[in-house]
Structure 1
Amino acid sequence: MDHQQLTYSPFDPTVIADPYPVYRELRDSAPAYWSPQASSWVLSRHQDVWGALADPTTYSSASGIFPTPPGVDMTELFLPMLIMSDPPRHTQLRRLVSKAFTPRRIAGLEAHIETIVDGLLDEAPEAGAWDFVSGFAGPLPAIVIADMLGVPREDRDRFRTWSTTLIQSNPTRGEIGAGLDAAAALYEYFSAFLAERRAHPQDDLMTALVHAEVEGEHLSEDELLGFCLLLLVAGHETTTNLLSNSAVVLAQHPDSRRQLADNPKLVPAAVEELLRYDSPVQGLARTLTRQVDLHGQAMEPGDTVLLLFGSANRDDQAFPEADHFDIHRDPERQVAFGRGIHFCLGASLARLEARIALEALLARRRDWDVDLDSAVRLRSGPIRGYSSLPLR
């Protein structure tokens, strides 16, 4: 396609519905593309995204990670977050938070997650329509995160509402106000909860975060609140949308679904392929600290660069026949969770939840159809998934 005719915006409803054709055009015709709507350069090839993720010195996260129209500064909208920081502070924050988010703690959740999954499936109708998001994919990570943090389960619906409002606060539609209100409500909630945990420590993640210490240093109050917001949104949305997207992909590939139902040992590898094939996080932004010359384009210091994970994961140069869904593929270099120092802290939890959920779903509901005509997509640029997904 002629570069001059190519247009791409992560906020375009057509792109949100199906971004993959335009991703291919970007990779083929404009691998370093300037998007006026997002006020950012767009990198779409796996090699470029992979390299940028490994170079946080050049591709900084400190000025925000979401593409925004001109005049919108995301760093002014939120308290400090791990995902929007650079070394050396990022290194210190990650070390502190990791002490409360250990592999041992995650592995210990397996039986608990199995119980939650079984309970949700027990409530699902035996026949007829079932909203997979509100009935299963949404509540599962909400309950897990609420239980990990130690907050009451009855608050999880509020969390889900706040989280969804945040990720759908599209700046191009003037919805920043709703997102700010949701963030303020979350900060207020967690501020009171952190104070309670300082006074009355419990065996939960919130208490562990409050008391986490490296070299005599604790997280500041703002950093604690920023991490709570990040954990809630990332912990909800990644798993919810991974599961929702997976339900659609497996409905569209019944042979693969049948293989997984017959042999559950294939599920962990299938989760990696599902992450690659329809990534819940389609892309995150960085800010250049120096000039980068790529594909004939001079990208200047201070420019925003959108790294398209969803496109990188469909690049034939990295994954032969990338538009083909193959549960026997080994997508070792898929970037759904990022790479490098900002590799998703909750990746192991998302993988664990997805494996348990899909194993149980396939054991109890071997066949299903999705009603895509009635499904409602999230209206989010970086996040790909559904707010409603009817299954039969």
Structure 2
Amino acid sequence: MTNGDLYYDPYDVDIDVDPYPTYQRLRDEEPLYYNDRLDFWGLSRFADVGAALKDLKHLSSAKGDILEVIKADPVMPPGVFINEDPPLHTVHRVLVSRAFTPRKMKALEDKIRAFCVACLEPLVGSDRFDFVADLGDELPMRAIGMLVGIPDAEQPTVRDHAQRGLRNERGKPLTVTKDKYFDGDFYADYVSWREKNPSDDLITDLLNVEFEDVSGTTRRLTKEEILIFLAVIAGAGVETTGNLFGWLGKVLAEHPDQRQQIVSDRSLIPNAIEELLRFEPPGPHVARYVTEGVEYHGQTVPAGSTLLLMLSSANRDERQFTDPDRFDIHRSISQHVTFGVGAHFCLGAALARLEGRIALDEVLNRFPEWDLDMAQARRKPTTTVRGWDSMPAIVG
């Protein structure tokens, strides 16, 4: 199926620097792409990706949602709800969603703003700050830590553990151990501490909740299930959301006229964050295991295959968005696929949006203008998320 020199590889460092021209060619020339070297199929158009995300008949999350995880086929412990199919996924998702209710988000808003202020205020008067080191590495960690009930002093350790789990050697797949993919044991001490010190947080909720499992049995969660829930939430909430902040600093520095509009009119912030999420998604793709042969563009992807859904490409599809490679804070966005679609829509979407809105508002309160020091910027060495380890800004 390879069309001449058209080649896409999610581990290719050169492609990853700017994947959008390659995505454009995939959408136009091979909307169903097959990489024979790595043995995976890929979808790149918005309509195809959206439909695949909702297709529970042919496509499964039970073997993982990362390309190399599906290939390794590791043993999935109970509770990795992002890697489950209904009805098990539905049961577990309902339990975890207790942490992400509108009431919980509202209660968290003032705390997130206060912490954001505490991060930025000491930097006022200096000539630079780092959108990742000073915000992206801090704010999501504090938000998730407060939400699940991990003590403040321990939150940096949790962040570092979550980040290490998604790092790979540049140009190579993530190393996946077949016999143990998710390590929940790391969180055992926190759960034991919360058993003795209950509070208004997710760990306490999970320790006490009774639910009906897929067999119809009413029971409480096992300790292993709770530990895995925490590992999943910490990984997604800390590492993925953290990438939003590096892109925020970079993209708005490259569009100073639009940044100035936001400075003058803060009501533009919610749509600016939405456009940023479309324009540079922190998670560029997800994968699915093909359980039944499924047809796209006149060809059948056979059962047993791995299918890569290119979210970043879908968000730049001109069949869905007018002039999609243009960043536009005034764009009317009915839907993008950054947070997924359907049963696996990201539980933390509201929290990520909230963090982004608060951070942009508070940054502009102190630094309405900035330039980038790209010579010191550092890309993140991972393929599961796409972003920066450092995005230094020059201010003042």
Q: Considering the TM-score relative to the shorter chain, is it more than 0.5?
A: yes
**Mapped partners of 2:177, 2:364: distance in 1:** 38
**Mapped partners of 1:149, 1:204: distance in 2:** 5
**Aligned equivalent of 1:214:** 211
User: 1:227/1:169 Cα in 2 relative to 1: closer, same or farther (>3 Å)?
Assistant: farther
* Structure 1 residue 93 corresponds to structure 2 residue 99: no
**For residues 225-258 of structure 1, what are the alpha-carbon distances to aligned partners after superposition, in whole Å with 9 as ceiling and x for unaligned?**
2211111111112321112111100000001100
* Structure 1 residue 205 corresponds to structure 2 residue 207: no
**Mapped partners of 2:241, 2:194: distance in 1:** 27
Question: Match of 1:257, SS?
Answer: helix
**Mapped partners of 1:37, 1:143: distance in 2:** 41
Question: What letter is aligned with 2:238?
Answer: H
User: 1:298/1:24 Cα in 2 relative to 1: closer, same or farther (>3 Å)?
Assistant: same
What does residue range 300-311 of structure 1 map to in structure 2 within 5 Å? 300-311=302-313
* TM-score of the aligned structures, taking structure 2 as reference length: 0.92
User: 1:295/1:272 Cα in 2 relative to 1: closer, same or farther (>3 Å)?
Assistant: same
Structure 1: which 5+ residue stretches go unaligned? none
**For residues 36-72 of structure 1, what are the alpha-carbon distances to aligned partners after superposition, in whole Å with 9 as ceiling and x for unaligned?**
4543211000000011111122211001100118952
**Aligned equivalent of 1:107:** 106
* TM-score of the aligned structures, taking structure 1 as reference length: 0.93
What does residue range 146-295 of structure 1 map to in structure 2 within 5 Å? 146-169=145-168, 173=172, 176=175, 184=183, 187-215=184-212, 216-295=218-297
User: 1:173/1:240 Cα in 2 relative to 1: closer, same or farther (>3 Å)?
Assistant: same
**Mapped partners of 2:122, 2:238: distance in 1:** 20
Match of 2:315 among 304, 313, 321: 313
**Mapped partners of 1:223, 1:87: distance in 2:** 17
Q: Percent identity between the aligned chains?
A: 38
Question: What letter is aligned with 1:137?
Answer: G
Question: C-alpha displacement at 1:125, in angstroms?
Answer: 4.9
* Structure 1 residue 5 corresponds to structure 2 residue 8: no
Question: What letter is aligned with 2:55?
Answer: D
The CA RMSD measured in Å over matched residues stands at 2.4
User: 1:137/1:19 Cα in 2 relative to 1: closer, same or farther (>3 Å)?
Assistant: same
User: 1:323/1:105 Cα in 2 relative to 1: closer, same or farther (>3 Å)?
Assistant: same
- Asked if 2 retains the 8 angstrom alpha-carbon contact of 1:96 and 1:218, the reply is no
Question: Match of 1:217, SS?
Answer: strand
**Aligned equivalent of 1:82:** 81
Aligned residues: 389
User: 1:152/1:196 Cα in 2 relative to 1: closer, same or farther (>3 Å)?
Assistant: closer
**Aligned equivalent of 1:28:** 28
User: 1:18/1:78 Cα in 2 relative to 1: closer, same or farther (>3 Å)?
Assistant: farther
- Asked if 1 retains the 8 angstrom alpha-carbon contact of 2:272 and 2:330, the reply is yes
**Mapped partners of 2:371, 2:171: distance in 1:** 34
- Asked if 2 retains the 8 angstrom alpha-carbon contact of 1:68 and 1:171, the reply is no
User: 1:115/1:22 Cα in 2 relative to 1: closer, same or farther (>3 Å)?
Assistant: same
**Mapped partners of 1:93, 1:36: distance in 2:** 36
Question: C-alpha displacement at 1:264, in angstroms?
Answer: 0.5
Question: Match of 1:68, SS?
Answer: helix
Query: Which deviates the most, 28-37 or 175-184?
Result: 175-184
- Asked if 2 retains the 8 angstrom alpha-carbon contact of 1:162 and 1:183, the reply is no
Question: What letter is aligned with 2:237?
Answer: G
